[in-house]
Structure 1
């Protein structure tokens, strides 16, 4: 069984839809990919083995505005990040998707 899930482009607020398994856990939608994460295309059959989905706004199928009226996408990439686990521990995205920008200072 699959469900249709809608995601909003962080660049232009266009909405795109994807058919996927309902048990995949979404973490975030970001403008940048997470370092070291493997992304599937929206139509891939094996989304469960990926760390998320890489979209290109308006090029991966029709997009709408929030009221479901057809619009053109901006053509920029954005990324759906799934919740990931390593040895049973949930991994945080890098950089975190909360609390604003993260800075690492090296002395």
Structure 2
């Protein structure tokens, strides 16, 4: 069983639809990949075992506007990041995708 899930391109607001299993572990959609994460193509049959999915807006299949009307995508990459665990502990993206900017100062 699968469900249709829609993801909005953060560059141009085009929407891509993807058939996925109903037990999703989605964390965020970002303009840049998370450092050290492995991304699968949307048509990769093993994509759910990756750290996320890399989309090329409008090049990985048809895209629509928010109302469902066909549009052309911008062709820019964006990334669906899955929740990741290591030894049962949820890993935080680096840098975090929430909470505003992060500044690391070395003394």
The normalised TM-score by structure 1 is 0.95
The one-character-per-residue Cα deviations of 1:2-47 (angstroms, maximum 9, x if unpaired) are 1111000000100001111111310000000000101010011112
Task: Provide the residue aligned with 2:44 in structure 1.
Answer: 44
SS in structure 2 of the partner of residue 80 of structure 1: strand
Task: Provide the residue aligned with 2:106 in structure 1.
Answer: 106
| Kept in 2: contact 1:20–1:47 (CA 8 A) | no
SS in structure 1 of the partner of residue 18 of structure 2: strand
Alpha-carbon distance in 2 for matches of 1:48, 1:77: 19
Poorly superposed stretches of 4+, deviation over 2 Å: none
Task: Provide the residue aligned with 1:15 in structure 2.
Answer: 15
Alpha-carbon distance in 2 for matches of 1:81, 1:44: 15
Q: Is there any run of 5+ residues in structure 2 with no aligned partner, and where? A: none
Task: Give me the CA root mean square deviation.
Answer: 0.9
- 1:85 matched to 2:98? The reply is no
Task: Provide the residue aligned with 2:6 in structure 1.
Answer: 6
